[in-house]
Amino acid sequence: MKALTVWSGWRSRFLLLLRWLLLPLLALLLLAVLLLGLSGKPDLYANYQQGSAYFASDGELLSLRLAPDQRYRLKLPLADIAPALQQATLLYEDRRFYQHFGLDINAVGRALWQGVVLRGRRQGASTLSMQLARLRFGLNTSNLAGKLQQLGYALYLERHFSKDELLEAYFNYAPYGGNIEGVAAASLIYFGKEARELTLPEALALSVIPQNPNQRSPLSQSGQQQLELARQRLTLIWQQQHGASLPAGALPLDLPLRYFNRSDLPQQAPHFINQLRQQGHLQGRFYTSLTLSVQHQFERQLSRYLKRHQAQGFSNGSALLIKRSTLQVQAWLGSADFNSEAIAGQVDGVTASRSPGSALKPFVYALALQQGHIHPNSLLTDVPRRFGSFNPENFDRQFVGPISATAALINSRNLPAVQLQARLQQPDFYQWLQGAGVPLSQPASHYGLALVLGGMELSMAQLVQLYAMLGNGGSWQAWQWLAEPATPQGRQLLSPEAAFLTLDMLRQHPGVQSALLTTLTDSKPVAWKTGTSYAFRDAWAIALSGDYVLAVWLGNFDGSSNPNLVGRTAAGPLLFELLSLLPQNRQAEQQLFSPAASLNLKKVPLCSRSGDLPNKFCPQTEPGWFIPGVSPIKVSEVHRAVPIDLNSGLRACSHQPGVTELKVFEFWPSEISRAMQQAGIMLAQPPRYQQPCPDQLLRSRQPPQIRSPQPQLTYLLGEQREQQQIALKASFDGAVTQAYWFADSRYLGSVAPAETLFWQAESGRFELRVVDDLGGVSQITLNVH
């Protein structure tokens, strides 16, 4: 009885002393709370630095990057945190969180009684609001003053924010071991999943880490052991609160967990992620349009392709796949191996500027269609021609003579493309490329007519944007990186008619034929083009198929050449192998290659040989597209009926039934006729006239076209006699037999249509004129210095 009396007295004196000690501190605390309460609402996330998390279109994590302060930290709304994690955290840390005002009086009383009066195991009395205050304001709570400051800030936060806002902030600030802060980063790192997807055992594990993040960190073996012990203790409490029964299909609570480490974080599509970061996507969560399954398939196929072609010196490549209708990135391979130093794998071949070779030719044809210079069946000339000091050649160093625009494009003939570029105006090709955002660092004179042959550089990304325009009615659109694309803002750079016709021309390009690809090329319509840069440094292939645009590149980032780097034979097969991995969408394919009803297009029979409307002598026709009011449509003059005297077999001046018969011959312009002869194509020639014909019966069907000299150039005479000669050359109607050249009124000489006259020039300004023997005339102004 006496001991009980002594204990009771000691307790009373202790409580009295404690009261007198706490009263001044409580008064100071109340004053601080009053001052804080009168102050404005604080920014709950001031100086909160987020890292960045990038996800594929299916939600799988591509990469998790550190915040600027080198911590893994992501902000997450409370609605995206698993309810089990919220409940377990409150159960372990602050059961009365939704009842108290920031200070749990009951918890404080229990802590004092247990730790001070009974001198037992110390118990924490900090509420989640107090822990948030410490984390948010960076408080030192190791002493009494710091504790009181923590309490004051907790009440301050409770004054201005709802309980849900405070709980959400706690989850975003809480430490989870090492440099991992916030439940979003912890869930991704330790379990490889979003916080809303956590299982109950995983939620229980994460709930116990913030109380002692150093000792319970899963980043070390000892930390995992301590974590498991704490989790088991919380599991018992959970079972007491919620019962031992678990939902159907739930994992047993005592099942050991597997924890991932920071080194296990995925680093997928690294070039794509780096590009996103360069675009300013640096903090937060980003759900991209990248299709991870296609990305992986492309990576494996590129690796296999390079391995199969090691003997040809292929060691590196890039590929880019976009969805044409939205320009969303689907797959992005910057190199064959990001981690390979041997191939400079960290260089991004999708954004690196390279020469496109012939890959830009379709856009010269599109502009020529739009400006009315050609239609798809127009006859072009693949013959040698000099443009000032520029003397272009074909890849095979051969010339095929007359060739349709479609055949010239899909066979990538250089001379027709250069001739078309020279005819473009308002805009010319240089101006058009500038309008499409292609970087041209030099003035137009620097590139000249070599632009269409790849005499400049652009990136794969820019090239794919241009090709996507062909399938989008001539509308150029910006990239879309995210799963939820913004409304595309297009710029109309080509007419819808020109874009469709160019696409239709490319569709006629035969696919790469091999045993593996026969099924693909027979069933899947593809519009595609290749390119080979100067000195065999780059091999390109680009295709439109269904709702996809795909580009591939093979080469070396050091710019070294390889004679095997040819677009059709090197990049082409890889292009079709990658296309075969994509799902077939027949509706999208039909939509891509079928003209919309609104297009100003018409299909008519055209003469197969000349590409013009057939006259009555044309032996064969084929259907062809043209743009009414734009395309150059005229009646063919190639096939002509010639009267042949029945007795002599010679050519008569006019047709007399019973005396002559009409035979059809082909009359090609002189330069085409000569090119045919050089190519070994021999055409039947009409016989000579049996007698001279009156002038009115001989008239030129096509006036001459002066090819040399060129009127836009000024010719400089050298000191040597041979340097003072200027070549006079023109193209004539196929029936012309002689041509006459004049400088002003001075006669210079005569030549046959296929011949060149060399003029011993002198300084001055001249009106140069050529007249053929059928009366055709052509004239230019020439400056000679």
What CATH number has the domain bearing residue 379?
3.40.710.10
Q: Which residues face 692 on adjacent strands?
A: none
Q: What are phi and psi of 739, to 5 degrees?
A: -130, 150
Those residues whose C-beta lies under 8 Å from the C-beta of residue 761, and which sit 6 or more positions away, are 715, 717, 724, 725, 726, 784
Contacts of 72 (CB under 8 A, 6+ apart): 51, 64, 66, 179, 180, 181, 182, 185, 189, 262
Last residue of a domain, one of 426, 455, 484: 455
Task: Looking at the structure, tell me whether residues 184 and 90 fall in a common domain.
Answer: yes
Residue indicated by tokens 């090609």:
668
* Strand-strand pairing, 764-772 and 777-784: antiparallel
Place of tokens 């409770």: 158
DSSP-assigned states of every residue in 176-217: -STTEESHHHHHHHHHSS-GGG--HHHHHHHHHTTTSTTTS-
Residues 91, 192, single domain; the answer is: yes
Residues 127 and 94: beta-carbon distance below 8 Å: yes
Distance separating alpha carbons of residues 738 and 217, to the nearest angstrom: 96
> How many Å is the Cα radius of gyration of the chain?
41
Q: What is the CATH number of the domain that holds 770?
A: 2.60.40.10
Give the chain's mean pLDDT. 87
Alpha carbon distance 765, 715 (integer Å) = 10
Which has the minimum average pLDDT: 83-92, 135-144, 451-460?
135-144
Three-state DSSP class for 783? strand
Nearest to 176 by CA among 287, 244, 260: 260
* All residues at 6 or more sequence positions from 137 whose CB lies less than 8 Å from its CB, including other chains: 153
Check residue 548 and give its pLDDT. 97
Strands 714-715 and 777-784: parallel
CATH number of the CATH domain containing 191 = 1.10.3810.10
Determine, yes or no, domain membership for 171: yes
The predicted pLDDT at position 723 comes to: 63
First-residue to last-residue Cα distance in the chain: 133
Question: Which DSSP letter does residue 113 get?
Answer: I
Residue 146 is assigned to a structural domain of this protein: yes
Residue 203 · residue 88 · CB < 8 Å: yes
CB 733 within 8 A of CB 698: no
Q: Is the pLDDT of residue 474 over 60?
A: yes
Strand, coil or helix: what is 219?
coil
Place of tokens 């991870």: 292
Q: Which of 393, 422, 455 is the last residue of a domain?
A: 455
319 and 210 in a single domain? The answer is no
Query: Taken in order 243, 244, 245, 247, is the CA torsion positive or negative?
Result: positive
In a domain, 117, yes or no: yes
Residue after which a domain boundary falls, among 229, 264, 299: 264
Tokens of 570: 């090197």
Token pair belonging to 225: 């052991």
CA distance 560 to 315: 12
How much is the pLDDT for 517? 47
Measured in whole angstroms, how far is the alpha carbon of residue 657 from the centre of its chain? Answer: 68
Are 649 and 741 in the same domain?
Answer: no
Residues 242 and 381 placed together within one structural domain of the fold: no
Q: For residue 1, is pLDDT > 60? A: no
- Please name every residue paired with 387 in a beta bridge, in sequence order, or none if there are none: 390
- C-alpha span between 717 and 705 (Å, rounded): 24
Q: In which band, very low, low, confident or very high, does the pLDDT at 736 lie, cut at 50, 70 and 90?
A: confident
pLDDT above 80 for 186: yes
What pLDDT, on the 0 to 100 scale, is given for residue 785?
A: 79
- 351 and 432 housed in the same domain: no
What number is the average pLDDT over the span 685-696?
A: 81
State which amino acid sits at residue 675: A
* 564 and 502 within one domain: yes
Q: Three-state SS for 332?
A: strand
Residue 113 pLDDT? 45
What's the confidence (pLDDT) of residue 326? 93
- What is the pLDDT, as a whole number, of residue 106? 59
Q: Is the domain of 443 the same as that of 470?
A: no
Distance from C-alpha of 580 to C-alpha of 349, rounded to nearest angstrom: 22
* Whether pLDDT at 712 is above 80: no
Q: Which pLDDT belongs to residue 518?
A: 47
Residues 341 and 467 in one domain: yes
Q: Say whether pLDDT at 283 is over 50.
A: yes
Question: Does the CA dihedral 287-288-292-293 come out positive or negative?
Answer: positive
Residue 500's nearest CA partner among 587, 426, 592 is 592
What average pLDDT does the segment 407-414 reach? 94
pLDDT at 223 over 90: yes
Domain membership of residue 6 (yes or no) is no
Higher pLDDT, 700 or 754: 754
Does a structural domain hold residue 282?
A: no
For tokens 């809480």, the residue is 174
Q: Rounded to whole angstroms, how far apart are CA atoms 779 and 753?
A: 16
Would the pLDDT of 591 be above 60? yes
Together in a domain, 214 and 315: no
Q: Are 411 and 498 in a shared domain?
A: no
Residue 544 CA to residue 592 CA, distance in Å, equals: 9
pLDDT digits (tens, 9 = 90+) for 483-498: 887 777 789 999 999 9
For residue 444, pLDDT over 50 is answered with yes
Stronger pLDDT, 567 or 240, i.e. the higher one: 567
- The closest alpha carbon to 749, from 783, 726, 765, 716, belongs to 726
Do residues 182 and 174 lie in contact, with contact meaning Cβ atoms separated by under 8 Å?
yes
Q: Which two tokens stand for residue 622?
A: 């084929």
Domain membership of residue 15 (yes or no) is: no
- Average the pLDDT over 75-102 and give the result: 94
Element (H or E) spanning 503, and its range?
A: helix 496-507
Average pLDDT value for residue range 737-754:
88
Q: Which of 231, 227, 130, 234 is nearest to 173 (CA)?
A: 130
Q: CA of 354: how far to CAs of 13, 519, 539, 713, in Å?
A: 87, 33, 10, 31
Q: Residues 391, 407: one domain?
A: yes
The stretch 695-701 carries a mean pLDDT of 58
β-strand pairing of 317-323 with 328-333? antiparallel
Amino acid of residue 647:
N
Q: Residue 28: which pLDDT band, with cuts at 50, 70 and 90? A: low
Which residue is it, tokens 């099942």?
Answer: 255
Contact by Cβ (8 Å): 448, 338 = no
Q: What is the pLDDT of residues 353-385, one digit of tens each?
A: 999 999 999 999 999 999 999 999 999 988 777
Q: pLDDT band at 537, cuts 50/70/90?
A: very high
Tell me the C-alpha distance between 121 and 116, whole Å.
Answer: 9
Is the pLDDT at 108 greater than 80, yes or no? no
Contact 546, 373 (CB under 8 A): no
Domain count, the chain: 5
344 φ, ψ (degrees, to nearest 5): 55, 50
Answer whether residue 654 shows pLDDT above 80: yes
**pLDDT of res. 719:** 64
Structure tokens at 373: 């210079």
Q: Which residues contact 604 (CB under 8 A, 6 or more apart)?
A: 613, 623, 624, 626
Residue 12 clears pLDDT 70, i.e. is over it: no
Identity (one letter) of the amino acid at 285? Answer: R
Residue 673 has pLDDT above 90, yes or no: no
Please check whether residue 13 lies inside any domain of the structure. Answer: no
Short-list 27, 19, 18, CA closest to 148: 27
Summarize pLDDT for 293-306 with one digit per residue, the tens: 999 999 999 999 99
H or E segment at 157? Answer: helix 144-160
pLDDT tens digits along 605-625: 999 989 999 999 999 999 999
Alpha helices in 650-742 (DSSP H): 670-678
Alpha-helical regions (H) of 113-143: 128-137
Mean pLDDT score, 147-156: 88
Q: Does the structure show a pLDDT above 70 at 32?
A: no
Give me 268's structure tokens. Answer: 């997928």
- Residue 535: DSSP 8-state: G
Among 675, 672, 651, 646, residue whose Cα is nearest residue 661: 646
Domain that holds residue 143: 40-247+254-264
pLDDT at 709: 87
DSSP 3-state of 54: strand
Q: Examine residue 4 and state whether it is found in any structural domain, yes or no.
A: no
Q: Quote the CA–CA distance of 639 and 686 in Å, as a whole number.
A: 12
